[in-house]
């Protein structure tokens, strides 16, 4: 019969070495992500307030109360910060759209929910969107192309949903391609006119834009889908 000590030794051999290094690695990754986020947040505020070209890395370092070398530890230059800021909003919009399209809602409910929630995403990423629209000419051509492709992908998915809705008799419009572009443009413009004055919350704005879009596509009977 094996002794308790031998069994314990065997169990430890099966379990392998302690996972302290992996935990440390995970913690280090979280710390790096937090520091990068702080840098991006400071850069975003300054790009929004002063413009990209008038903002220097010294300005960003001063806002954070760190040295410029601290920023260089995580970002090569100011352009890299602009790239990250510019790509964040469209990335979140595509994630939101993908999640809703994968759900078990009707076609009209999917469209309404996409417009509602993406409008709120764009409002929450208002500064990112305005910086992108204002500073697109300062983006690396490859990054600018990637963002345009992602925006086109958003519109393409919307167009497919509209086409399917027309086929089912849910929607009535002249051209689903133009309508999809109009919806995308309407959503982007939220960032340009929205002001946090306390009159309407982003949730209310999302619902109102969604209702207008449903009328635009000829689905007047639509009622706001209950969120699950």
Range(s) within the chain of domains with CATH label 1.10.357.10: 78-216
pLDDT, average across residues 119-146: 95
Range(s) within the chain of domains with CATH label 1.10.10.60: 20-75
- Express each pLDDT in 11-66 by its tens digit: 445 455 555 567 777 787 788 889 999 999 999 999 999 999 999 999 999 999 99
Q: Is this model's pTM higher than 0.85 or not?
A: no
User: Per-residue DSSP letters for the chain?
Assistant: ---HHHHHHHHHHHH-S-SHHHHHHHHHHHHHHHHHHHHHHHHHHHHHHH-TTT--HHHHHHHHTS-HHHHHTT-SSHHHHHHHHHHHHHHHHHHHHHHHHTSS--HHHHHHHHHHHHHHHHHHTHHHHHHHHHHGGGS-HHHHHHHHHHHHHHHHHHHHHHHHHHHHTS---S-HHHHHHHHHHHHHHHHHH---SSSS-HHHHHHHHHHHHHHHTT-TT--PPPP-
Q: Is the pLDDT of residue 9 over 90?
A: no
78-216 CATH choice from 3.40.1550.10, 1.10.10.410, 1.10.357.10, 3.40.1160.10 = 1.10.357.10
Tell me which fold the domain 20-75 belongs to: Arc Repressor Mutant, subunit A (1.10.10)
pLDDT, mean over the chain: 88
């Amino acid at each position: 019969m094996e002794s308790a000590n031998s069994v314990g030794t065997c169990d430890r051999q099966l379990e392998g070495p302690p996972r302290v290094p992996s935990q440390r690695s995970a913690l280090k990754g979280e710390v790096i992500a937090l520091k990068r986020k702080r840098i991006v947040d400071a850069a975003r505020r300054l790009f929004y307030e002063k413009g990209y070209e008038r903002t220097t890395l010294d300005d960003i370092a001063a806002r954070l109360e760190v040295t410029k070398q601290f920023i260089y530890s995580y970002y090569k230059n100011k352009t890299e910060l602009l790239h990250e800021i510019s790509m964040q909003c469209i990335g979140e919009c595509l994630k939101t759209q993908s999640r809703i399209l994968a759900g078990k809602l009707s076609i009209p409910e999917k469209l309404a929910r996409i417009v509602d929630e993406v409008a709120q995403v764009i409002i929450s990423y208002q500064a990112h969107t305005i910086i992108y629209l204002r500073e697109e000419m300062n983006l690396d051509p490859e990054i600018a192309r990637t963002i345009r492709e992602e925006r086109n992908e958003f519109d393409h998915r919307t167009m497919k949903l509209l086409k399917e809705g027309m086929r089912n008799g849910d929607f009535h419009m002249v051209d689903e391609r133009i309508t999809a572009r109009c919806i995308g443009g309407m959503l982007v413009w939220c960032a340009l006119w929205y002001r946090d004055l306390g009159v309407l919350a982003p949730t209310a704005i999302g619902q109102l834009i969604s209702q207008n879009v449903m009328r635009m596509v000829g689905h007047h009977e639509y009622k706001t889908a209950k969120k699950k």
